Amino acid sequence: MPHYEFFCPTCKKTFSRILALIDWAEGEIPCPYCGSHEVEQVWSAFSLFTSQKCA
């Protein structure tokens, strides 16, 4: 499942969630700190793990 990062302008805190695509599409992600639903998704880095080694 994808890992998403959000910013809450109400309490000015950033938090992350692991969500299924259907959960993300439905919206209504509450801030775990203040409960506000006015959160914004922010860009975040990602990492990729493979079974092959780079030469």
- Which mean pLDDT values do the consecutive 10-residue runs of the chain (55 residues) have? 88 91 78 94 73 67
pLDDT attached to residue 51: 74
3-state secondary structure of 25: helix
Residues 6+ apart with CB under 8 A from 44: 3, 4, 5, 16
Q: How many residues does the chain have?
A: 55
Domain boundaries, the chain: 3-42
pTM of the model: 0.70
CA 11, CA 51: separation in Å to the nearest integer?
41
CA 33, CA 21: separation in Å to the nearest integer?
23
Tokens of 36: 């506000």
